[in-house]
């Protein structure tokens, strides 16, 4: 491969995919290996022609001791030889792996991309250039197939893609965040060498007198990608010498097909999906009549909205969510990165485990907005009767009035009066408290002749599962007298024989 031919291929690839624009600042991720060194040399030689500014970034993963430290010195010296600024970072991959409970490869990748994003923030870069090659593409496609990918996973690596950063340099970046650059644009990862083979890269380095570092961990069979490169691909090439081209062709077809499906899903998004804070809702009736391919893509889109990306979410996970569309109410499943999906009456909710205690917005049908949480107290809170009791975000007014002075009745009340209830004081007494539901709770809803399990009442009332532990219950020592905002107990209702009425009102604190 001649110098001119390789240069022409890379320049053509950059132009075809619009990877670089004049005036941009570009961070180059340089490990010290042949691929990144080739990319660094290539771009540094053409920075004036391309009218771009370059900034070298190198992360020491702390996995190879002295060898890693030598890589640091090599990259710093190389950047200096090209008169380029360089940022060196070091992160504890082992500690982060233990914290995340993931593989070494995944931990290193997350920390590396978060580091690149932070460097880009610091230097005002719009893009991060990575030295992925055609060989990396083949390995990635094969890895996705083995892990159980859907059509989108067959696309492999993209020439240009948003830098979705799940966590920051110390692992603290929120799971749903996407790194933003100055001006509001999303940071992009570009791969100018994606159409170049590893053999071409080595030949380029040799012809330009470059002496890249060799990472000894690239030969360790403890890493899946290495086993694919060193064991599986050589075996597959015995069955089909052109297996690389076959996989790349498959990726191209998958890219065209999935791009079309993605465009259709985006057009339908507002019709089938909604969002309340950090929870995404998918309308069951509207999504189930769509072609299965669109159902899958809409689910992927919903997960992407919640997590920021869909790494580690495999085809079997998507199918599990899709099955929720026809499952009974209350079915829940857990997916990677704390993702929680749950079937409700008319929709499927997708969120993270940390967001289950969400506060519904003002359009929520729940009378309590925000919902009341007593979990911090962990005990029942006595009510002052008569008097005022302060609860988290609310106050409860209790008053005792003669029956003839009562102006409100539970029956027929709506809206704000859902937070007001009246009881026969002789039946409730004044020793009352507010608590949350417990397993086995029962009460006798107004209008019913027999007690009913509270769980069944909440299901019949279509109270979403995440809310049920946060609906306050007003209780006497012997029974629940009010599922606040929903129904009082029939046994304590006001009757013709009532002489004194206990009136309770929940008032939201401003």
For the stretch 170-175, contacts whose Cβ atoms lie closer than 8 Å and that sit 24 or more positions apart, written own/partner, are 170/91, 171/96, 171/99, 171/100, 171/110, 171/111, 173/114, 175/307, 175/308, 175/337, 175/338, 175/352
| CA proximity to 71, closest of 217, 213, 209 | 213
Pairing status of strand 53-60 against strand 25-29: parallel
Element (H, E) at 304: helix 292-307
Go through 441-472 and write b for each residue having 16 or more CB atoms within 10 A of its CB, e for each that does not.
Answer: bebbbbeeeebeebeebbeeeebbbbbbebbb
Contact by Cβ (8 Å): 359, 352 = no
Helix (H, G, I), strand (E, B) or coil at 182: coil
What residues contact residue 235 under an 8 Å CB cut-off, 6+ apart? Answer: none
Q: Both tokens of residue 255?
A: 């890219």
pTM of the model: 0.66
Question: Would you put residue 412 in left (φ > 0), alpha (ψ -120 to 50) or beta?
Answer: left
CA 297 to mean position of chain CA atoms: 16
Residues of the chain with pLDDT under 70: 1-4, 164-185, 276-277, 309, 329-330, 353-379, 403-417, 465-466, 510
Alpha-carbon torsion angle 193, 194, 198, 200, nearest 10: -50
> How far is 366 from 22, CA to CA, in rounded Å?
53
Determine whether domain 381-508 maps to CATH 3.30.230.10: no
Element (H, E) at 38: helix 34-45
> How far is 221 from 324, CA to CA, in rounded Å?
39
Q: Both tokens of residue 13?
A: 């690839």
Other Cβ atoms closer than 10 A to 392? 14
> How far is 155 from 149, CA to CA, in rounded Å?
10
Alpha helices in 162-288 (DSSP H): 198-207, 224-227, 233-239, 243-272, 284-288
Contact by Cβ (8 Å): 340, 351 = yes
**Residue extents of the structural domains in the chain:** 3-239, 251-355, 381-508
Tell me the pLDDT tens digit for each residue of 387-400. Answer: 999 887 788 999 99
For domain 3-239, give the fold.
Rossmann fold (3.40.50)
Contact by Cβ (8 Å): 86, 76 = yes
φ, ψ (nearest 5 deg) of residue 168: -90, -170
The distance in angstroms from the start CA to the end CA of the chain is 72
Q: Is residue 411 packed enough to be buried (19+ CB in 10 Å), middle (13-18) or exposed (0-12)?
A: exposed
Q: Inter-axis angle of helices 315-324 and 292-307, to 10 degrees? A: 100
Contact by Cβ (8 Å): 316, 148 = yes
> How far is 138 from 131, CA to CA, in rounded Å?
14
DSSP assignment string, 94-159 = HHHHHHHT--HHHHHHHHHHHHHHHHHHHHT-SEEE----HHHHHHHHHHHHHHT--GGGGG-S-S
Helix (H, G, I), strand (E, B) or coil at 369: coil
What residues contact residue 8 under an 8 Å CB cut-off, 6+ apart? Answer: none
- Tokens 């079309």 belong to which residue? 260
Beta bridge partners of 475: 433, 480
What residues contact residue 497 under an 8 Å CB cut-off, 6+ apart? Answer: none
Cis status, amide bond into 386, omega within 30 of 0: yes
Pairing status of strand 127-129 against strand 188-190: parallel
**Distance of CA 144 to CAs 29, 91, 148, 190, 313, Å?**
23, 27, 6, 20, 11
For domain 251-355, give the fold.
Chorismate Mutase Domain, subunit A (1.20.59)
Go through 171-199 and write b for each residue having 16 or more CB atoms within 10 A of its CB, e for each that does not.
Answer: bebebbbbbebeeeeebbbbbbbbbbbbe
Tell me the pLDDT tens digit for each residue of 204-236. Answer: 999 999 999 988 888 888 888 899 999 999 999
- What is the structure's pLDDT at 314? 80
């Amino acid at each position: 491969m001649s110098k001119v031919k390789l240069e022409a291929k890379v320049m053509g690839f950059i132009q075809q995919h619009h990877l670089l624009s004049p005036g941009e600042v570009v961070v180059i991720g340089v490990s010290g290996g042949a691929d990144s060194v080739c990319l660094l040399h290539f771009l540094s030689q053409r920075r004036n022609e391309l009218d771009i500014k370059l900034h070298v970034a190198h992360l020491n993963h702390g996995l190879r001791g002295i060898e890693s430290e030598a890589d640091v010195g090599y990259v710093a010296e190389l950047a200096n030889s090209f008169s380029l600024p360089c940022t060196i970072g070091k992160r504890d991959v082992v500690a982060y792996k233990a914290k995340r409970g993931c593989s070494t490869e995944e931990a290193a990748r997350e920390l590396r991309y978060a580091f690149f994003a932070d460097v880009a923030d610091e230097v005002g870069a719009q893009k991060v250039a990575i030295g992925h090659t055609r060989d990396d593409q083949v390995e990635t496609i094969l890895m996705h197939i083995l892990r159980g990918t859907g059509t989108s996973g067959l696309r492999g690596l993209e020439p240009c893609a948003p830098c979705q950063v799940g966590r920051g340099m110390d692992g603290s970046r929120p799971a749903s965040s996407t790194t933003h650059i100055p001006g509001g644009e999303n940071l992009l990862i570009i791969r100018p060498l994606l159409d170049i083979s590893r053999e071409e890269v080595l030949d380029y380095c040799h012809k330009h007198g470059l002496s890249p570092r060799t990472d000894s961990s690239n030969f360790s069979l403890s890493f899946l990608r290495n086993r694919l490169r060193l064991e599986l691909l050589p075996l597959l090439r015995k069955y089909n010498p052109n297996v690389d081209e076959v996989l790349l062709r498959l990726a191209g077809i998958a890219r065209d097909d999935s791009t079309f499906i993605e465009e259709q899903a985006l057009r339908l998004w507002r019709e089938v999906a909604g969002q309340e804070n950090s929870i995404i809702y998918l309308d069951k009736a509207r999504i189930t009549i769509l072609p299965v391919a669109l159902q899958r893509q809409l689910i992927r889109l919903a997960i992407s909205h919640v997590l920021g990306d869909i790494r580690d979410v495999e085809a079997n996970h998507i199918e599990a969510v899709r099955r929720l569309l026809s499952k009974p109410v209350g079915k829940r499943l857990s997916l990677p990165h704390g993702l929680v999906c749950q079937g409700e009456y008319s929709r499927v909710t997708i969120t993270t485990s940390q967001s289950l205690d969400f506060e519904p917005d003002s359009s929520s049908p729940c009378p309590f907005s925000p919902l009341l949480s007593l979990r911090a107290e962990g005990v029942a809170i006595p009510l002052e009767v008569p008097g005022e009791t302060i609860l988290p975000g609310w106050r409860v007014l209790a008053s005792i009035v003669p029956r003839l002075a009562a102006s409100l009745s539970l029956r027929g009340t709506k809206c704000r009066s859902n937070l007001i209830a009246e009881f026969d004081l002789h039946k409730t007494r004044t020793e009352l408290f507010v608590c949350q539901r417990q397993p086995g709770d029962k009460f006798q809803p107004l209008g019913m002749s027999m007690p009913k399990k509270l769980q069944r009442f909440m299901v019949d009332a279509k109270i979403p599962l995440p809310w049920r532990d946060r609906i306050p219950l007003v209780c006497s020592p012997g029974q629940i007298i009010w599922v606040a905002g929903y129904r009082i107990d029939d046994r304590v209702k006001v009757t013709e024989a009532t002489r004194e009425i206990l009136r309770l009102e929940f008032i939201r604190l401003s």
